[in-house]
Amino acid sequence: MSKIRMTTPLVEMDGDEMTRILWRMIKDQLISPFVDLKTEYYDLGLEERDRTSDQVTVDAAEATKRLGVAVKCATITPNAARMDEYHLHEMWKSPNGTIRALLDGTVFRAPIVVKGIDPYVRTWKKPITIARHAYGDVYKNTELRIPAPGKVELVYTPADGGDEVRATVQEFVEPGIAQGIHNLDASIASFARASFEYALSTKQDIWFAAKDTISKTYDHHFKDVFAEVFAAEYQARFEEAGIEYFYTLIDDAVARVIRSEGGFIWACKNYDGDVMSDMLSTAFGSLAMMTSVLVSPHGYYEYEAAHGTVQRHYYKYLAGEETSTNPVATIFAWTGALAKRGELDELPELIAFAHRLERATIDTIESGIMTGDLASITSLPDPVRANTEEFIAAIASRL
């Protein structure tokens, strides 16, 4: 059998701990036997990040700008304990944060839906994808404790020396609290563009929700920017693709999401996205079944699993104990990247392979063979609890 051809390489970002072990197994057993795999390899494992003073992370992000599609393994974000464990020179920043800042992206998280791992919400038949704006609002705020009576104002001082603008927040007659938040037109517009691009690339409807009836300037501006970007750049392409954009109030969106069948994208402001993505991943069953993709408004894609490096399992693995770590989200990071590469390079066989690998993975679980995290929540009768190696081997033989 001849292997499936690739033309442009993927940017491959290796990572840490148990997911680094899964990474090798997935490549060796599920991809390389079938695909003439071309990648530009960057080792984002913590040791290499430390050795290169984190330059390797920047290089990997720059390579993504050049090649367009990346697949990333989970990586350690160092904290005090990791400083000692890895004898680090510095507490390097989160690689995801660094990459996001360089690619200017929006993060989309979507659950992998399989029979036997049932969402808590009975009506959900298809995945619901959250698009979370990752800049500003309460994540970049200024807060004051107001200890005693006094006035709090918002003051805008134009840089060009124009007239100052003042607005009273509150005349405090007793102690309280106050907060100032902001956002930027360019950031909101790029969030809108990334969301619309993702809707087009996955052919799903997209909802955006805020609280413009209460926040008549701030949230209303989000609504306006989305509407302007949509009308100017996307309306015709959406009509052609047969998909829809609509705006509604955030509380109405929550009610509709619960009653829905799924199968759409929900664009959320920063705080809404933070809260709702955790709600959705739990309600769909398992963090180990959640994919994540960073989409930049310039059309770069970076695929990864939503979970971390699964440290606890790694220590068991190092101690020679059996592990049952779920590789599904990491497999889907690879298939997402391969399918996108296939789409951009017009390689239908590569796209078909990515879908076959996804199908083989889902079919393996639906046949009753699954890792421990799923075996403990499945509604299938008599599930077979496979260890890490057995589960990947079961997918390979089905493939």
Residues that bind ligand NAP (CB under 6 A): 74-77, 96, 287-288, 304, 307-312, 325-326, 373
Q: How far is the CB of 94 from ligand NAP (least distance, A)?
A: 7
26-39: b (≥16 Cβ within 10 Å) or e: bbebbbeebbebeb
Q: How far is the CB of 79 from ligand NAP (least distance, A)?
A: 7
Q: What residue 288 binds from Mg ion, ligand NAP, none (CB within 5 to 8 A, per partner kind)?
A: ligand NAP
226 or 332, CB closer to ligand NAP?
A: 332
Query: What is the Cα Rg of the chain in Å?
Result: 23
What does the H/E/C string look like for 309-335? Answer: CCHHHHHHHHCCCCCCCCCHHHHHHHH
132 or 223, CB closer to ligand NAP?
A: 132
57 or 96, CB closer to ligand NAP?
A: 96
- The three-point CA angle 351-352-355 to 5° equals 90
Q: How far apart are CA 195 and CA 351, in angstroms?
A: 22
Chain-centroid distance of CA 372 in Å reads: 24
287 or 344, CB closer to ligand NAP?
A: 287
- The residue ranges that bind Mg ion (CB under 5 A) are 274, 278
Q: What residue 64 binds from ligand NAP, Mg ion, none (CB within 5 to 8 A, per partner kind)?
A: none
Q: How far is the CB of 43 from ligand NAP (least distance, A)?
A: 14
Q: How far is the CB of 343 from ligand NAP (least distance, A)?
A: 24
308 or 368, CB closer to ligand NAP?
A: 308
Q: What residue 219 binds from Mg ion, ligand NAP, none (CB within 5 to 8 A, per partner kind)?
A: none
Q: How far apart are CA 111 and CA 105, in angstroms?
A: 20
Residue 264, amino acid = F
Q: How far is the CB of 62 from Mg ion (least distance, A)?
A: 29
The answer to whether the beta carbons of residues 4 and 35 sit under 8 Å apart is yes
